[in-house]
Every structure is written in structure tokens, then in C-alpha cells.
A and B are shown apart, each in its own frame.
Chain A
């Protein structure tokens, strides 16, 4: 087992210098999620305008993998439509299952590929994505109700 495969430089960079960390004004979609088995938690906030994610923020506490994954995701989904973000989430999950995916589209996220070899850590990497999936369902719900 090679630790370097897991803790790639770019992961540690996102962990040390998280992008889009913080809180948005009221009115943004907000999802709180925790991993009950380990205590990691994340609050993901998104502004969606005309179906496009125009702003993302997250805050939380967790290990390097969960926080780096959240940071990378926040960059990756900015400017995407909600549908595109969900497609990306599915790609990310496939990568976590060890399936070969087109890594070009994943950008920095590709660095998390090594997590698939550490089964105990996959749920760390997917926490933020779970929050994204839940938030996107809330977008659907609010569209239906309006």
C-alpha cells in the first residue's frame, strides 16, 4: 500500500488551502451532511440561477480526503448546470468504485483516484458529493413548488 498514491500533492494543497470555503447569504440552497460513522461534517451551499450553479461555498470538519474532495468539487461544479454537476458526481463515484473514467473532465479531482484503493476512505471522499446530490434534489423540489 503506497501512501503517496492516496495523499497526492494536489490533495494536500486543497486540504491546506481550501477553495470556496465559507458561507453564502441567506437564500442560497444549503445542505448539512454528516458521516455518522466518523463524525465528519459538511455544510454545502449553492446559488442556482437559471439552472446554473453560480456560486458554491462549503464549510465543515473532516480529514484531508473529505475536505480536499469538497474543495475540488466546489471548483469543478462552478458554472455548470445542475444536470452537468450530477453527471460529474456520477463520474466521481465511478472513479471511487475503481472504474476507468475519462479523467480529463475531472481536472484536479483525478488526484483522488488513489482513494479507490483505500476502501475505508471512500466514504470520506464522497461526503461532499452526497451533499451535492441532496442539494440538487432540493433544486428540483423548489422548481416544482414555484
Chain B
């Protein structure tokens, strides 16, 4: 894999920002899109655009075929047994909300427990708070040290016959910890609980196989894996998807509509009320083709290497506090940090003035920020189009941020 060659597939990365070549280190927020995806979107609208699953004209057939083909690509990408286990949604948040509202809300009762971690992204936390509120279930948090590592003995001790659902991130978007989801799923199943995996940060970055993980649901977003914004995926085991109620009602998702009641289509179409995300799904399919070409193993390896290179370079920057696994420990392709005495917004503004894009804030993980004892942090995140020289630029720019503020404060 040659990152510099791959980078040329991303027109957006060729520009200058504030007089400096763009160094994009915010792929955990959203990835950039290769030209093949952009072209596929344009080609779809130029040649095949029509509504799907209705009408008998040629364009309608082409659009339907392309849309359903995208579903097959997604199923194949995550090792699902059947494309019918793939629901197209707007993104991870919507996918998890579907499980919360269409499934958990009906299955859980007072006294039941939902087990999760303090590091969850708000999208895998707030929906469960809502389920707890409505059903009387309670939220139980797994013990987690500050580096975000989970101990399987703690997991075993936390789970009980009361646990009905475990909602867990595969990779922390702040700490970069990769959780042993397969082991957690096994322990959860031993007590009869179901497992919902937030794959927003894992599916784009490493090979993920739902049969191997044995998770009951997996949610992820297209836009973090070279696809367009506005499309995401919910995978579920067939039994649970069949038992799950639709969240939206109306066009597209119905079977027979009577005056007083109606019946739904089969899984997964019963979950896709209204005109679905046709172009988005097709774009995601092409993004998956692209990722296959690059190779998910190679992407994962590159991420790990960049993370370890970044840790090496950043851990010697004076006054820099780094969160998550220590130097030498496994870490996904991101590093979250704070420069002593300089707010992450101010750090980010200085970096931006040198063309470097990072994320600053609470990263949609307010409980984790409290757990770490900081109001906010800065995060640099990597993808296969990043190189070691991007990290060198980051380190140099952090030095100039320190100098600038030392001077400004006087």
C-alpha cells in the first residue's frame, strides 16, 4: 500500500489551506472521498436516477438493481450471511436509535440492565438513556481505567441475569482503544444478553466480520469509510430484525394498506420508509469497492503504524498530555491530547493557520471527558492517505503553537 499514491485519488487533499498544503487529520470525524465515489454519484444522477422498488420503466429497474447491489456489497464487506440483514439508515446514530426504539423499548422491562461504557459516543449512550426512561431498565457502566482498556474479568463480574443488552463501541473515537468485542459478546450471550456494537470507528479501519464477532447488531456510517454523508448501516441477526418494529411508517415500507391498519414488507425493507437513500447507498457500495482494492488488512496495519509513530513523536513534546493507551500499546489510528495551558480550540486555530485540520472539543463523549477530568481535548486521526510526514507536520505545528502562546502571553 502506498499512501502517497492513494492520496492522489482524493482531489480535496490537493489544496492549500492558509498558504500551506492541507494536512487532513480528522478522518475519525469524516473521511475524504475518492474520485471513484464522486464519479459514481454523478453517473447515477446522470444516467440511472429513478425511484426504487416501483414503476416498471428501465431507469427504475436500473436504480433498484444498483441500490440492492450496494446492499449485497455491504453484506459481503462485513461477512453478513444475507443482504437482507443490511438496513440502510442515515448513519450510526439512526441505526442505534432504530434498535433502541424498534426493539429494545419493546423487549426491556423494569429491573433489566443495559451495560455500556463511559467512553461511548453520545449516539450509543443517549438512545439507551431514553430506553431506560421508558422501560424502567437501568444503565450500568463497565469499570474502565483512564486509558480506556476494559478488563474481561470486570465485564464478567458486571454482567448478570439482569443484563439484557450490552451496547459497546468497537473502537473508542477519543482514546483509540480497540475493545475485545468478540469476548464481550461471548460473555454477554452466556447470561442471555444481546450485544449492540457501535462500529463507526472500526468498520472503516479494520476487517470486521459479524459472524466472527457474533454481535447481534452492528451500526456504522458510510461517510467515515470514503462514502457520502447521509448513509449508514444497521446489521442485525435475522431473528432480531424480524422481531424489530419499523421506526418510520408510510411509503415504501408497507405491504398492504387498509383503512384501519396495514402490514409491512419483509426485513430489511420494512425499515426503509420513504424514498430510501439511493444515491448514498450506491456511493457507499463504490466506496467499499475502493476499500477492497486498498485492502482492509493493509489499512488496519497502516493505522496501527501511524498511531505508533505519532505516539513516539508526540510523547516527547514537552507539556503534551496524551489520553488512551500508552506508548507501545495497541492503539487505533488516532491520538487525543492537550497542550498544557492552551485550550484545544486555540491549538486547533494555530494548526489550521498552518493547514493542519484536527478536531477540538468533547468529541460527542461528555461523560468520557468528565472521566478523564478535562473539559475538552484535541484529536488527530489518521487514514490510509496519511503519512508519517503528516505527523511530522503536526508535531512541528504543535511546537509553533506553544511558542506562539508563550509569546502572546508574554
Residues of A within 8 A of B352 (CB): 1, 120
B353 at the interface (CB under 8 A from A): yes
Given contacts A37-B361, A39-B375, contact A3 B353 (CB under 8 A): yes
A134 at the interface (CB under 8 A from B): no
B343 touches A62 (CB 8 A): yes
Residues of B within 8 A of A121 (CB): 345, 349
CB proximity to B under 8 Å, residues A117-142: 118, 120-121, 124
A39 touches B343 (CB 8 A): no
Min C-beta distance of B123 to chain A, whole Å? 14
A39 touches B404 (CB 8 A): no
A64 touches B343 (CB 8 A): yes
Nearest to A61 among chain B residues (CB) is B375
A9 touches B408 (CB 8 A): yes
A38 touches B360 (CB 8 A): yes
Min C-beta distance of B399 to chain A, whole Å? 15
A87 at the interface (CB under 8 A from B): no
B349 touches A12 (CB 8 A): no
Give the size range of B's interface with the partner. Answer: 20 to 34
Residues of A within 8 A of B366 (CB): 39
Interface of B: prevailing SS: helix
B376 touches A12 (CB 8 A): no
CB proximity to B under 8 Å, residues A37-59: 37-41
Residues of A within 8 A of B369 (CB): 39
CA distance A38 to B377 in the complex (A): 9
Residues of B within 8 A of A7 (CB): 346, 404-405, 408
B343 touches A63 (CB 8 A): yes
B361 touches A64 (CB 8 A): no
A95 at the interface (CB under 8 A from B): no
Q: Which of B18, B346, B352 has the most A CB atoms < 10 Å from its CB?
A: B346
B78 at the interface (CB under 8 A from A): no
Residues of A within 8 A of B360 (CB): 38
Task: Name B350's contact: one of A3, A16, A39, A124 (CB within 8 Å).
Answer: A3
B376 touches A1 (CB 8 A): no
CB proximity to A under 8 Å, residues B140-190: none
Nearest to B363 among chain A residues (CB) is A39
Given contacts A61-B375, A62-B343, A121-B349, contact A38 B408 (CB under 8 A): no
A28 at the interface (CB under 8 A from B): no
B349 touches A118 (CB 8 A): yes
Extra inter-chain contacts (10) besides given A9-B408, A12-B409, A63-B344, CB under 8 Å: A1-B18, A7-B408, A12-B408, A39-B362, A39-B375, A39-B376, A41-B375, A61-B375, A64-B346, A121-B349
Q: Can you list 6 A-B pairs, Cβ within 8 angstroms, ordered by A?
A: A7-B408, A9-B410, A38-B360, A39-B369, A64-B343, A124-B345
